[in-house]
């Protein structure tokens, strides 16, 4: 499968409106962080997305998204769902299932109430099927397993993505795990996560935050999980891309960890698994 980071930025995006800091003024495209989202393409043509933030339209155009088989939500904060209306052109032929936990799906229905009202008929509405995901969701040969995590007080979902391999000797190829906006991973969820090949994890900044992992907290969680390759996402505007690379390198050096690779992700990054 192929994973594309559509956005690697925190809730306000980078550059931040009205900000004069060096990161917000950087010309380096890796310092332009749209709201966090992941595009997943299976080897047999399955296409899915995790979260539809306010830049979904721009991200979909940039990544050349022509169809979706499913939308997976982590939670209903504005930076993760407010682009949902823009899936309209992709839901014309077939309505799109939108998966999330109970809280997310009910909040999404409230937020986009016009979509579910009979009063607005005809076009102008995305055709979506809100679905509470209690169990793994199968799309073709891809399996999306919900991972309950804490985002401050909120109960949100991370997603584990696995693809059946063409190799009949192996059951699945390595898994990818996407955990954004996380401040705590409950013990039961660690079991679901296992030891993925790829871990994409939210890491806001150096300073601690009530509802998000800091860089150090995210890297410590990643070490505990033991992922082969770690990509940070949902990043704010405190540091340049190169400075975060340096931060990750020093973190590993101080702990004498050589075999583990952790780096900040960036918009447009493609990960082949």
User: Binding of Zn ion at residue 237 (CB under 5 A)?
Assistant: yes
User: Binding of Zn ion at residue 69 (CB under 5 A)?
Assistant: no
Among 2, 19, 124, 246, binds Zn ion (CB under 5 A): 19
Among 2, 21, 114, 184, binds Zn ion (CB under 5 A): 21
Considering only 134-142, 174-182, 240-248, 251-259, which stretch makes contact with Zn ion by CB under 5 A?
174-182
Sign of CA dihedral 104, 210, 240, 26: positive
Residues 6 or more apart from 221 whose CB is under 8 A from it?
182, 185, 201, 213
CB-nearer residue toward Zn ion: 22 or 226: 22
Number of residues that bind Zn ion (CB under 5 A): 9
Q: Give min distance, CB of 30 to Zn ion, in A.
A: 15
Considering only 38-46, 120-128, 230-238, 253-261, which stretch makes contact with Zn ion by CB under 5 A?
230-238
Between CA 176 and CA 201 the distance in angstroms is: 11
Considering only 52-60, 131-139, 179-187, 216-224, which stretch makes contact with Zn ion by CB under 5 A?
179-187
Between CA 138 and CA 193 the distance in angstroms is: 17
CB-nearer residue toward Zn ion: 47 or 212: 212
Place of tokens 């995790």: 50
Considering only 5-13, 81-89, 111-119, 253-261, which stretch makes contact with Zn ion by CB under 5 A?
5-13
Nearest to 85 by CA among 54, 43, 50: 54
DSSP assignments along 192-216, one per residue: HH-S-SEEEEE---SS--SSS--HH
Place of tokens 């020093």: 250
Residues that bind Zn ion (CB under 5 A): 11, 16, 19, 21, 24, 77, 79, 181, 237
């Amino acid at each position: 499968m192929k994973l594309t980071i559509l956005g690697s930025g925190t809730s306000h995006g980078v550059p931040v409106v009205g900000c004069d800091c060096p990161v917000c003024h950087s010309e380096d495209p890796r310092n332009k962080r749209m709201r966090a989202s992941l595009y997943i393409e299976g080897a047999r043509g399955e296409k899915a997305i995790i979260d539809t933030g306010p830049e979904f339209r721009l991200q979909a155009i940039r990544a050349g998204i022509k169809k979706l088989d499913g939308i997976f939500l982590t939670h209903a904060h504005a930076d993760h769902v407010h682009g949902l209306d823009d899936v309209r052109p992709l839901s014309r032929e077939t309505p799109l299932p939108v998966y999330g936990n109970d809280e997310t799906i009910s909040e999404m229905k409230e937020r986009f109430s016009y979509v579910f009202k009979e009063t607005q008929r005809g076009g102008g509405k995305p055709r979506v099927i809100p679905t509470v995901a209690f169990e793994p969701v199968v799309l073709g040969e891809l399996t999306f397993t919900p991972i309950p995590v804490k985002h401050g007080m909120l109960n949100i979902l991370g997603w584990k993505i696995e693809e059946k391999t063409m190799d009949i000797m192996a059951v699945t190829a390595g898994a990818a795990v996407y955990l954004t906006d996380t401040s705590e991973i409950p013990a039961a969820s660690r079991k679901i996560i296992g030891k993925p090949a790829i871990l994409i994890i939210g890491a806001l900044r150096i300073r601690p935050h009530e509802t998000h992992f800091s860089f150090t907290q995210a890297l410590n969680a990643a070490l505990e999980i033991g992922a082969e390759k770690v990509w940070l996402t949902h990043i704010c505007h405190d540091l340049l891309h190169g400075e975060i690379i340096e931060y990750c390198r020093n973190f590993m050096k101080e702990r004498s960890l050589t075999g583990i690779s952790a780096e900040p992700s960036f918009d447009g990054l493609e990960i082949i698994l």
